[in-house]
Each structure stands twice: as structure tokens, then as C-alpha cells.
Amino acid sequence: MKFVSQLLQPLLTIPKNAKIKNTEITCKSQKLLLECGLIRPTASGLFALLPLALRAVDKLEALVRHRIEEVGGQRLSLPALTAANLWEKTGRMSEELLKVQDRTGRSFVLAPTHEEAIADLLADVGPLSYKQLPLLVYQISDKFRDELRPKHGVLRARSFRMLDAYGAHASHEHAVTTYHRVTDAYQKLFKDLHLKVYRVAAECGDMGGSESHEWQLPAPAGEDRVPTDGGSVSSVEVGHTFILGTRYSATLGAHCVPPSGPPQPLHMSCYGIGITRLLGASLEALSTDTALRWPAAIAPYRAILIGPKEGSKEWALYDPTRVSELYEELSHTTSLRGDLLCDDRHQMTVGKRLLMADKMGYPEVIVIGKAALETPPRFELRASGRVQLLTWPELMMALAGVETGRATAQI
């Protein structure tokens, strides 16, 4: 069983306009993630992801991997440190990059992205035959940026999780074809999350290339603007995609062998999604000022079971042993396997634990309350803004997604 009492979840009460370890509270997602014990600041712009937050990140990464691999992505892992001379060759050395030197004085960059590293890798293993193309590789890893003004918690941090994927192609036309396939996968990902993310044409900037799009999620704390049917709104950039052309491949010697003629520079494309930024932005978009609201697919736990208060009438029939039996039965349903939490803080009232569960934003809350003493016993299911009182078989059917036909009340 997974118990709330055993979680590493340091709950906080943050006074208005408070500062915690030099971290200004500037948006609701940051405030709620701190208050609910999901993240903890370690320095300005740096955060520890605690167990509940990391469960959500793991779920999000699994969805991203599924969609990228569905269009042919192959997973790899590149070192966080990239030789600084590669960035110098491409002209991208800047103040935003975190730089280090080893004991011999050789310079490295703690990379925020890996276009140089990928082009260098393809040069090392190439030239590739046109028959091996298109090639799409990706990784999800920690990235680093020396942000001048880190703010909004995980929305603009110095260390962050990111998907970065790279396409290699024999021609610009092939790069465009892959670009459309991958951006279609982006659309499917955001549909999985039930988020309305806008694809917006953007400047290529320092990245270079012929085409790029930002992926913007409307959210109050956003520092960008996205046009909508009713005029523009604040938004957060959660992804960026580019057709790069031969900028990196020509500079760093990454080539392919065409059907005839000499080797030619590869045509490249790249695709980024800020994993931790998307997590924070989705909470910023969906949450209330006082309670987290998750895309259901990435909530840390799908459901939480709340047993009766110790010493209550319900306690006589539903003590910890009986609650454990019900938990085990629920856990064997396919929909809740590995995704159910038990609030075993029986010294607290059911009402107080309900308030805390609501603030955490669990998609489904199962309560053993007064109706559990009826004949037959009925159990409370709170989900999607409504309350249902269900018998045990009805509850199991509802959790499996089967409509019970019972009357419901709005929460």
C-alpha cells in the first residue's frame, strides 16, 4: 500500500508576498507546488523535484516518448557537457550558457540544447547513406541555462527537463516531410493532455534555419502572447520546432552520400518540449488560485482513498485492516493499478483530508463516510466536479469507466 503518511511531502503555508530561499513567489503554479510539497527551492532558479512531482514528470515523459517513437524516434543519451569549441564553430557561444573547465583547462558548455553535439556525432559516424535516412533521434534529459532573471518556479528555471529530438535528411523536402510528421505528434500529445496549445510561426533567431514554430499554451503567468478567436492572451512557450537546413551539418562536417555524386551536408531539423515547463504551464492554466488541477493523464496519483476518522461510528466497521482490504481490491482494477494512494491519517477528520486532497487535485477521491454504514453500504466518489454515492460494485464499475446511471451532485 502507498500511504500519505509515508510520503516525502513537506507541506508549507506561504504568507502573501513571501520569499523562500531567495525565490520570489510570482505565480500560482509556483505557490501551489511549494505549498503542496511537490518542489523545494535549492537556490535561485534551481528546484528539487520531490516524489509526487517526479511521478507527474515520469508520466509526462512516458507520453512524450510514446508519441515521438510512434513517428520513428530512436532514443539516445548525450553528455550534459559539450565541448565549447563546437559552440564557437557554430557561432552560438553566449552569456546564457553555463561554462566549465576541466583540470587541463579544456572548456565545456553545460548544454541547454544539443544541435552541435548531434551534428558532431553524425559527422563522427558518417557519412550516412541516403538509404539510412530519414533519421530521427531524441533524448529527455536535464538541461541548463544561465537565466538572467529566473522566475515563476519551474516555468523559467536554470535547470530543467527537456525533450530534444533531431532529424537528419537527404534534402530539404525530406526534412519538411519529417517536420510535419513530428509536429502532428505534438498535436496528439497535447490532445492526450487535453490542453489547447497553439502552433505559432516564429523567427528562427540564433538557431538558424528556414522555418520554426513556437507551441504556446495560454496561461495567466505567461510572458508571451498568442492570438485566439477573441483577441490575444498571455501564454507560455512549451515547445519549439525548427527546420535547420545545413547550418550545423556543413559547419561540423555531418554528411550523407546521395544516390550519385559526392557527399553532401545533411539537412537537419530539431524539436524541443520543455518537460518541467509544460508541467508548470499546465498547472498554471488549469489550477485555481487555491488548488492544483492536473491534466488527468499526469496527476501524481489517479485516485486517493480516504478512510473514516479514528473513533467515529464508521471506524468500528472500517478500521485500518478493513480499509487495507478495500485498498487492495481497488488496486487490482486495471485503471488504478499502481496509481492509488491511501490517506491513512486517521487522526484527522474526513473533511480536513478532503480539503487537502482537493488542493492536491487528485482526479478521483474515494471516501468511506456515513453512507458506508447503510444497507447496502455506499461509498463516495468525487470526480470531475461531481459527487456520487455508489455501492461497491457500482464504484468498481465507475472507476473502470462504466456509466452507472446513478444520480450525482455537483461539488
Residue 340 host element (H or E): strand 340-343
Task: Provide the pLDDT for residue 403.
Answer: 54
Task: Provide the pLDDT for residue 208.
Answer: 80
Name which of 186, 376, 352, 361 is nearest 290 in CA terms: 361
Q: What is the CATH number of domain 301-410?
A: 3.40.50.800
- Tell me how far apart the alpha carbons of residues 359 and 294 are, in angstroms, rounded to a whole number: 11
Residues in the chain, total: 411
Q: What 3-state DSSP class applies to 107?
A: strand
Q: What is the mean pLDDT of the chain?
A: 93
Name which of 41, 27, 280 is nearest 161 in CA terms: 280
DSSP structural state of residue 156: B
Is the confidence at residue 408, as pLDDT, over 70? no
Contacts of 271 by beta carbon, 8 Å cutoff, 6+ apart: 68, 138, 163, 164, 165, 166, 167, 182, 183, 186, 239, 241, 242
- Each residue's pLDDT tens digit, 10-53: 998 777 777 666 568 889 999 999 999 999 999 999 999 999 99
- Each domain of the chain, given as residue ranges in start order, spans 53-286, 301-410
- Each residue's pLDDT tens digit, 101-117: 999 999 999 999 999 99
- Tell me how far apart the alpha carbons of residues 293 and 56 are, in angstroms, rounded to a whole number: 12
- Tell me how far apart the alpha carbons of residues 1 and 340 are, in angstroms, rounded to a whole number: 8
- pTM of the shown model: 0.94
- Each residue's pLDDT tens digit, 123-182: 999 899 999 999 999 999 999 999 888 889 999 999 999 999 999 999 999 999 999 999
Specify the range with the lowest mean pLDDT, choosing from 84-88, 171-175, 279-283, 399-403: 399-403
- Each residue's pLDDT tens digit, 342-386: 999 999 999 999 999 999 999 999 999 999 999 999 999 999 889
Residue 218 host element (H or E): strand 211-218
CATH architecture of structural domain 53-286: 2-Layer Sandwich (3.30)
Q: Confidence class of residue 405 from pLDDT cuts 50, 70 and 90?
A: low
Is the confidence at residue 98, as pLDDT, over 70? yes
Name which of 71, 306, 33, 61 is nearest 155 in CA terms: 33
Task: Provide the pLDDT for residue 409.
Answer: 61
- Each residue's pLDDT tens digit, 309-345: 999 999 999 999 999 999 999 998 878 999 999 999 9
**Cα–Cα distance list, 83 to 52, 145, 254, 271, 292 (Å):** 35, 16, 17, 22, 41
Is the confidence at residue 95, as pLDDT, over 70? yes
- Each residue's pLDDT tens digit, 179-220: 999 999 999 999 999 999 999 999 888 888 789 999 999 999
